[in-house]
Structure 1
Amino acid sequence: MRPMSANPVPTGSITGLVLAGGRGQRMGGADKGLQMLHGTPLASQVLARLAPQVGMLAISANRNRDAYVALGAPWQASVLADTLPDYPGPLAGLLAGLRAARTEWLLTVPCDSPWLPADLAERLCDAALARHADIATATTTNADGAVLLHPVFALVRTSLADDLAAFLAAGERKVRAWYARHTAAEVAFADERAFYNINSLQELADFERA
């Protein structure tokens, strides 16, 4: 059993952001967060897992705003659209979250990973504070021994908003390239299944049957 944090970060200092603002190209253009798994939208399941870990919640969504407002209503989650046009990627959703958050930290998770760890916020915060980092991300190790980075499961200081805005204004879009500009900590999680994401309608059907 992992020991409790000596100086735990209060959940009130973290805003949780569910990233649901993509085109859904691998789902044939379907709005991924609104797809149903066992009778519940994927984004709703992610919100339920994330809510106990943070003080406030938000959803990054560029389509179907009213549907996402309804999903977020039980948690009073705000719905944020990208401030940049043409779906420039997850960093645009992150920037909207960093701008809107009124907390020291923003925790991002994708809308298609309904089994995210229940201690994600705690462990990423512990690592960020211990290593004096501005960003903390999750890793797992697969059956072949390769370490896999899960870059959109990330804890980011909201003070980095201006730097990210400048990075995007320069035409940059790569998540890892932006992380490399800052002090970042990687946190190893044992359960790879907690980071499974559902990328296609076929995968969604497979998980529905499982």
Structure 2
Amino acid sequence: MTAVTIPRDAITGLVLAGGRGRRMGGRDKGLQCFDGQPLAAHVIDRLRPQVGALLISANRNRDAYAAFGAEVVSDETQDFAGPLAGMLAGLRAMRTDYLLTAPCDSPYLPDDLGDRLAASLSASLTGATSPPLAAYAATTQGPHPVFALLHRSLADDLAATLAAGESRVRAWLARHKAVQVHFGDERPFYNINTLDDLPTDLPRAP
């Protein structure tokens, strides 16, 4: 039996930068400076080589994000509905079969995230009568559901899920029997949550 493969050019990357930044005092998290450049730039630098195309999900400061050289997409609603809304915007805008998502506050994300999620999803697709359409990362510390690989066919269901008021990423993925892919190291999933996590001697964007 021939194994299913998912090439990189069949995957669009999506940087999730559409949040309110509540724990950042309302600042746009992806534009905060970390180790010499905006957080989103770190994520873009690590995600871009893993995919065939790149999108950024942002609901404000669109011009600043567009300057990173990727198409910017926004949520269908203006209520900052969370990561699922950003994922939906990405699924609607992409021109590939798969979407690889990562949050803008994870500057060390794995440089093999896409390959490992794709490999695990491909293995599950081979010979399956009801194959899963998504995969996401996990470590011994727990699941990391916003680091996910999603098939384009999930868009309509995700839209209905959001319309029903559901915003929990893990619950939605579980309903689709998403493949959980274990990574041995927690450090690549470290995320910047608050201003206290940023160096104090660097400028901070609005």
Q: TM-score, normalised by structure 1?
A: 0.89
Residue matched to 1:45 = 42
Tell me the amino acid that sits aligned with residue 52 of structure 1: P
| CA deviation after TM superposition for structure 1 residue 205, in Å | 2.4
- Between the aligned partners of 1:155 and 1:174, the Cα distance in structure 2 is 16
| Root mean square deviation, CA, Å | 1.6
| CA deviation after TM superposition for structure 1 residue 48, in Å | 0.4
Alignment of 1:107-186 (within 5 A): 107-132=100-125, 133-142=132-141, 148-186=142-180
- Between the aligned partners of 2:175 and 2:53, the Cα distance in structure 1 is 27
- Among the aligned pairs, what percent are the same residue? 62
Matched, 1:198 2:192: yes
| CA deviation after TM superposition for structure 1 residue 100, in Å | 0.5
The answer on whether the counterparts of 1:37 and 1:204 sit within 8 Å (CA) in structure 2 is yes
Matched, 1:34 2:27: no
Structure 1: stretches of 5+ with no match in the other structure = 1-5, 143-147
| CA deviation after TM superposition for structure 1 residue 138, in Å | 0.4
| CA deviation after TM superposition for structure 1 residue 8, in Å | 4.7
Moved over 3 A (4+): none
Q: Which structure is higher in RCO with an 8 Å CA cutoff and minimum separation 6?
A: 2
Matched, 1:22 2:19: yes
The answer on whether the counterparts of 1:8 and 1:122 sit within 8 Å (CA) in structure 2 is no
Higher deviation after alignment, 182-191 or 90-99: 182-191
- Between the aligned partners of 1:186 and 1:204, the Cα distance in structure 2 is 30
Alignment of 1:58-73 (within 5 A): 58-71=55-68, 73=69
Q: TM-score, normalised by structure 2?
A: 0.90
Structure 2: stretches of 5+ with no match in the other structure = 126-131
The answer on whether the counterparts of 1:50 and 1:118 sit within 8 Å (CA) in structure 2 is yes
Give 3-state SS (helix, strand or coil) of 2:42's partner: helix
**Number of aligned positions between the proteins:** 194
Tell me the amino acid that sits aligned with residue 27 of structure 1: M
- Between the aligned partners of 2:49 and 2:32, the Cα distance in structure 1 is 23
